[in-house]
Chain A
Amino acid sequence: MLTFETPQYLLLLLLLPPAVYLRHFRKGRGAVLSFPFRVWKGHGFYPRQVGLKGLLFLFSLFFWIGVALLIISLGGPSLSRHEKLFLSRGVDIMIVFDQSPSMAGKDFPPVNRFETAREMTAHFIAGRENDPIGIVSFGTDAVLRVPPTLDYDLLTERLGELKIMEMGDGTAIGMGLAVAALHLSTSQAEEKIIILLTDGENNSGEIQPETSASIAGKLGIRIYTIGIGTTGEVSAEFTDPESGSVYSATLKSRFDEVMLKTIAEETGGRYFHAISPGTLEAVFQTIDSLESVERLVKMQVVFEPLHYLFILAGFLLIMLEFIVRKAFFREIL
């Protein structure tokens, strides 16, 4: 929205109509040299110069518009926009993402478990405000992809770069939780949570999930566990990111529900079982509503000054009028 810092200067615009009258319409105005256009006692002739005069007046308008723009610049024109300023801390969230090959299970249409989980995670991130969010992913090993940050654009970008089996073909749930807990340990937030998304059993890594959960609990971190997928045989297809080979297989899908429940309960979190994209979405919505904190927000108005543009435009119009008068109309003064 266009606003003015000192709008009282705009009153000067009222001086423009009389100035235009005095310059262009008043009888006996200056910058005119009278000389005879007829012979002694003869008939005069008055060449019709409507087009020329119209053009001259049009360029005079440039001058007056230029002056008006300079007057407007005195008012301090600015573009203002409202911006939320968070005065309190949000919840620190670490999303622990399973990248094992079983995540390619096609029981989550339209593509597979991995793509659905990624899409729902992206929606979840987009719905949060002022909550630092990070991503840890795991396969045979676990790695921090993004530390807890408010830079959601970068977070979503990195989430989109995750690939199935990038971290090997194992499922190191314990390692994933441990890495997430480690990177939340320096956080000064009052509320810290981990959201674990997995479809398998812990079969890799040096740290057991229960141990990681115990560490997280001591650090005041709640863990929400989400078991993804149906049980039984599921067809899967994925591309090995290293070799580029496409693998197609039928997996026996199962996950350690007891372990996931234990982890969640021990840390004060909750366990969810998502058997379809719809239920996974509902799970994220539930976590979203459970993890809402009271926020202290102030709406502030941010101003972007525009007076430079008005001054420059006014100056250019005035100079254009000057150049046209001198070069085109060959005005001598």
Chain B
Amino acid sequence: MKINNPQALYLLLLLIPLFISAALRYRSGSRQLLRLGGEWRKKKILDLYLVKFFFSTAMLVLFIGAITFSLMGIIWGQKPVHEEKKGIDVAFVIDISRSMLAEDLYPSRLDKAVDLVRTTMKNLKGSRFSITVFKGNAVVAVPLTEDTISIETFLSSISPAMLSSKGTNTEAGIVKAVNSFPPGIGHNGAVVLISDGDVLEGNLMRGAELAASRDIPLFAIGAGSVEGVPIILNDGSVIRDLSGNTVITSLDRDALAKAAERTGGEYFDLSSPSVSAGLNEAVRAINDFSDRKGIRFRNIEHFRFFVILALIFIMLHFVIRGVKWKKDF
């Protein structure tokens, strides 16, 4: 089971003011009923009021719960759909922020990333590739092409100096890469993000949401170590913050893995010896699906069950309030 929109759970916060107002309303409601109904039928009215109030409030709470679940995008099971797409287009999104110069991977995170791009292109011969680089903003450096010579030319000169903006905006990189797939090209698309996950701007999950909405899996490659290292520049100095402290850059593995999982992709460590083989296998698997007589299995989102429950609860809430149980009330 997977959940597409866990943020829908915030709706449950509505229950707090609902409970408080229910308590207050019950107190004042009892007083007003007595005033209107008269002391002579006090017990009869108040007993019924308590029961009706309790059940109508309970139904409203259940209604809010069911609506929340329907909005969460709960997924389980798969269904076969006809798929015409064949072949793979891969959009590489490479973080060229200065933290990628860290040498916790030999010779550096960035050089190791470039090696992985080269190996992946070799493994996926015949595919089309694009390169998007990002720092504070993102640029499609090489559009989707079969021309590996132009990609190689670009890779040989890649460096943080290519973009003047500061920061790390992974969302911008993913958005550019996803939009670099022209519509109707009849290929399966995949985004390979290589970053240390040190997000300073944008929202990585928003980028992942966009990729997921276009059925494009995101394969996240984490560069660096969780413990972190200082960033050493060409002249041997280290980068310091405004207070003079050495800046430590560390890998945010969880954020990258979560983003990949959201799109149906996978996470790999750039430091792992099997990263290239794993990525190759995972990307090829997208195409394998569509080669099986054009059938692909898609996840089924179950919202109807919860909407039906919500309708039942709100109608019960309504009936409890609106139907006379006894002659008086």
Contacts and interface: CB of A to CB of B under 8 A. Distances in A.
Given A67-B314, A86-B186, A311-B303, A30 B322 contact: yes
Given A30-B322, A35-B38, A332-B32, A147 B185 contact: no
Contacts of B38: 35
B147 A187 contact: yes
A29 interface: yes
A175 B76 CA distance: 58
Interface stretch (A68-76, A119-127, A244-252, A255-263): A68-76
A324 interface: no
B142 A315 contact: no
Interface size class of B (residues with CB under 8 A): 35 or more
Interface stretch (B95-103, B223-231, B274-282, B305-313): B305-313
A318 interface: yes
B69 to A, nearest CB: 11
A151 B184 contact: no
Interface stretch (B21-29, B157-165, B194-202, B284-292): B21-29
Contacts of A86: 184-186
Contacts of A311: 67, 70-71, 303, 307
A149 B71 contact: no
Given A35-B36, A182-B149, 5 more contacts: A29-B322, A35-B38, A147-B151, A298-B84, A333-B53
A74 B149 contact: no
Nearest to A83: B184
A188 B328 contact: no
Contact of B182 (A63, A87, A151, A307): A151
A185 B207 CA distance: 35
Contact of A33 (B60, B84, B140, B329): B329
B311 A71 contact: yes
Contact of B328 (A33, A84, A149, A151): A33
Interface of A: 6, 9, 19, 23, 28-35, 63, 67, 70-71, 73-74, 76, 83-87, 130, 132, 134, 144, 146-152, 154-155, 182-188, 298, 300, 307-308, 311-312, 315, 318-319, 322, 326, 332-333
Contacts of A73: 70, 303, 307
Contacts of B143: 146-147, 149, 151, 154-155
B180 interface: yes
A83 B63 CA distance: 39
Question: Which 9 pairs from chain A and chain B are nearest by CB?
Answer: A332-B29, A30-B324, A147-B147, A147-B150, A151-B143, A149-B143, A147-B145, A150-B182, A30-B323
A85 B33 CA distance: 67
A298 to B, nearest CB: 6
B142 A147 contact: yes
A70 B310 contact: yes
Contacts of A326: 21, 25
B36 A33 contact: yes
Contacts of B258: none
Contacts of B73: 308
B140 A154 contact: yes
B37 A33 contact: yes
B74 to A, nearest CB: 13
Contacts of A83: 183-184
Contacts of A147: 142-143, 145, 147, 149-151
25 contacts: A29-B323, A30-B323, A31-B323, A33-B328, A33-B329, A34-B328, A35-B37, A70-B310, A73-B303, A83-B183, A87-B186, A132-B146, A134-B147, A148-B146, A149-B144, A149-B145, A150-B144, A150-B185, A182-B149, A183-B147, A186-B146, A187-B146, A322-B60, A326-B21, A332-B25
A144 B146 CA distance: 14
Contacts of B308: 74
Interface in B5-50: 5, 14, 21, 25, 28-29, 32-33, 36-38, 45, 49
Most buried by A among B67, B183, B328: B67
Contacts of B126: 188
